[in-house]
Amino acid sequence: MLTSTHWGVYDVTVEAGRITRIASFERDPDPSPIGQSLAAAVTGPTRVRYPAVRKSYLEGGPGAAPERRGAEPFVKVGWDEALTLAAGELKRVKTQFGNTSIFAGSYGWSSAGRFHHAQSQVHRFMNAIGGYVAHVGTYSLGAARTLLPHIVMDMDALRAQQTAWVQLEKHCQLLVAFGSIPGKNTQVNSGGISQHEARPALKGLAGAGVRFVNVSPLRDDLDAALGVEWMPLRPNTDTAFMLGLAHTLIAEGRHDPAFLERYCEGFEPFRRYVMGEADGVPKTAHWAAHICDIPADTIAALARRMAANRTMISVAWSLQRGDHGEQPYWMGIALACLLGQIGTPGGGIALAYGPVGIEGANARPFSGPVLPQGQNAVKTPIPVARIADMLENPGGRYEFNGRACTYPDIRLIYWAGGNPFHHHQDLNRLIRAWRKPETIIVNEQYWNPGAKMADIVLPATTMLERDDIGSTSRDRFMIAMKRAIEPVGEARDDYEIFSALAERLGAKEQFTESRSAAVWLRHLYDEARVRARKFDLSLPGFEAFWAEGYVEMPPPDEPPVMLGAYRADPGANRLPTPSGKIEIFSSTIASFGYDDCIGHPAWYEPAEWLGAPLARRYPLHLISHQPATRLHSQYDQGSVSRAAKIRDREALTLHPQDAAARGIKTGDVVRVFNDRGACLAGVKISDGVRQGVAVLPTGAWYDPLAPGEIGTLEKHGNPNVLTLDKGTSKLTQGCSALTTLVEVELFQGALPSVTAFDAPQFVVRSAVVR
C-alpha cells in the first residue's frame, strides 16, 4: 500500500502488523532515501504513546512552575482526564480573557495527507470555538510573501506558473542561480512529491548546452558535474551584486527600454539610485565588488553575458531569510526587467528553482482535496517569525506591511503538527518567552523538543496509522494513503482529538458537520473532482481511486512560462498591482515611510555580516540550511539522519583554511558560539564552502546540557541557539536566520552524551490535589 510524505511516495509492506519494507514509488525517477527512516521511527522509543501532563502543572494548575518546562517529569493520564483538562483550559481562557489570548499558529509541514493535516485540523477546531491568534507568512517565505503582492502578484500565483524545466531545456542559454539550486532541497515538497524530477532535469539542461552560474557561498549546492561556474560571494550581499550588474547594463546601454516602458512601473527613480544620482553613490561593479568580495571585472562580464543570452535568473528562497530579505527578491525581479526577458520561454525570473522539488514541474496547479478551516473571528494575526516578540511584549506596538499593529496577550498556546524549537531563531530567547503563557497544549507523535516543553501532551497518529489522501499543487499524482498499521499505544487521530474537545466545548457539530473521518475523505475527494474540471482534469470516482491506489493527472497542453500571458498582452492580463504592471518602484511601499525599505530595491547593510566590525569577534558567517537527511527536524531520530551525524552530533562544514587556523580536523567536535548561545557539532572540512563561512543544517533536535536553563550549552548541533531573531524589515517582518556571525573552537573536556531522542522521565502522580 502507498503512503505519501513530504519527501516522496513509498510502497509499504506490512506483515503480522509490522512494517517490513519501505520501497520507493515505481514512478519516481530519483527517489529520496529519507523514507527509510519511517519504519523504525514510527514504533520507536521517541513515540508519544499515551496522554501525559507535566507534573507541576498537574499538581498546581495553569501557570505552575513554567520555568520547569522541558526539565521536569510527566505523569501518564487517561484520555478522558487529558481531554477534560485541555477543554477546561480552553474554556477558562476564552471566558476570562477572550479568544485573542489563544495562539494556535501551529506552524510546520505536518502530514502530506490533506485531511489529517494537523494545522488544518487545529485551525478548523479553533475557528469552531470562536477563533484564535493566527500567523501570516512562512519562515521559508515570510519576506517574499509580503513583498510580492505589492510589486507583481501573490507568491503562490507566481509559483503556479513557474517556467517548466522542459521550456528551459529548449530555450534557455544561461541560468544564473542566486543562492544555488540544491539537490538536497529538491527531495522535499510541502504536501508531498511523487516524482523527483529536478536533478534529472538539470542534467538535461546541461546536455542541451545550458551554462550555469552559481552565485552563492556554497559550491556544491549546484552539482559541479553540470559544468557550473562558481562565484562565491560574501553571504547576504546578493542585492549589492545584482546592483553592480544593473549598473553595468544601464551604463553600457544593454538594458531593454522598450520592455521597461511597456511592462514596468517606476524605472526612473530606480535608475537614479543605481547610477548614483539620488544619493551620490553609483552602484558600479567596483562598488559591488568591495561589498561582495567578487572582482568587478567578473561582475561586469556576467552582466554582459546575461544581456547577450536567453537568461533565466533563479533567486533562492534562502536569500529572503536574511536581514532585509525582501531586497534580493525585489532586485532579482528588477534585474530580469532590465534584461527584458520576463515572459519568454527559458528567460526571465524564477522564485526559485530548487527550494523544493516541485518547482519547474510540467503539471497543473491543482491542489486536490482541501479541508475547509472556516472563518477566524480573531482578525489580529502576527507575522510567523515574531512569536518571541509577541510573548515577551503583550500590548507592544510594531510595524508590518504598512500597518501599526499590537501584540496580543497570549495565555494559552495550542500546537499541532510542528516543532517551534526547530523553526524559531534564538532559542534561548524563545525559552524565556515560552514561560509567559499559563498553558501549552500539543498534539504530537514524537517526544521532540516541542512536546517536552509542553504542559499537556496528546498522542497523535502518524500517516501510517490512518487513511488519507495525498495531493498537492503541481504534482501529477494523487495518492490513496491507506492505513498500514494500527495506532501505536493510545494514539488518536487529530480529528478524533479535536472532535472530543469540540464536544466538551459545545462545538462538535460545527467542527465535524456530523461526518466521520471516512465520510470526510469521500466528501473532500468528491469536491476535488468538481474543482478538477476547471483545470481540464477528469478524476475517477472515489471507489476506483481507492482501489487503484493513485490517479495520474496529465500535464498541461503547453508547459508553463512565468508571466507569459502578461508579456503577450499586458492590457488584457493586467497584474494585480496599483499600476497593473511590474513595480520596480512601488508608490505604496514608499508611502509607508520605512527607513529600512524604501520604494525600490536598495542595498542595506545586514545587522551581522562579514563586512561588519562584529566580524572581528565572530569571524564566521553561519549558514543554517535544509539538511540532506531529513525534512527540517522531521525524522531526525530516523536511521538516515542519525547515520550522517558525527559522534552523534550534527555535522558542521568548514573551509580547510578556517579549520587549520583553529587546529580543527574532520571528525572533531567543536563548540560553535556567539553572544546568543553555543552548541556542539561534529566537523566536516570542504573547499566547497567559501572561506569565512560555516554551514550547520537546521533540524537537530534541541538538546540542552541543563534542561530548562536559559543559555546552557546545546549538545546536539541545533543552530537556532545561535541565529538572529529579528524581523527582516518593517515591511515584511520575516525570519533573519541566515544573518548570523559565530566563532568555532575545539571542544575541550568530557563529551556529554546526546539525549535528544530520549523520552522524558515519567513519575507516579502525587497525592496532592489542586
Catalytic residue list: 107, 109
SS3 444: strand
Which helix H or strand E contains 677, and what residues bound it? strand 677-685
Contact at 8 Å (CB) between 383 and 729? no
Alpha-carbon distance values, 632 to 443, 524, 536, 625 (Å): 19, 29, 35, 9
The three grid cell numbers given for residue 475, joined into one nine-digit string: 504534482
Ramachandran region of residue 387, left (φ > 0), alpha (ψ -120 to 50) or beta?
A: alpha
SS3 460: strand
Burial class (CB in 10 A: 0-12, 13-18, 19+), 601: buried
Pick from 592, 596, 123, 13: nearest CA to 371: 123
Q: Kindly give, in sequence order, each residue whose CB lies less than 8 Å from that of residue 513, ignoring residues fewer than 6 positions away.
A: none
Distance of CA 664 to the CA centre of its chain: 32
Q: How far apart are CA 330 and CA 241, in angstroms?
A: 13
Sheet with strand 174-178: strands edge to edge = 229-231, 211-215, 174-178, 311-315, 348-350
Helix axes 267-274 and 238-251, enclosed angle (nearest 10): 100
Q: How far apart are CA 152 and CA 158, in angstroms?
A: 8
Pick from 491, 492, 541, 499: nearest CA to 516: 499
Pick from 525, 456, 467, 523: nearest CA to 493: 467
Which helix H or strand E contains 403, and what residues bound it? strand 403-406
Which helix H or strand E contains 53, and what residues bound it? strand 52-54
SS3 171: helix
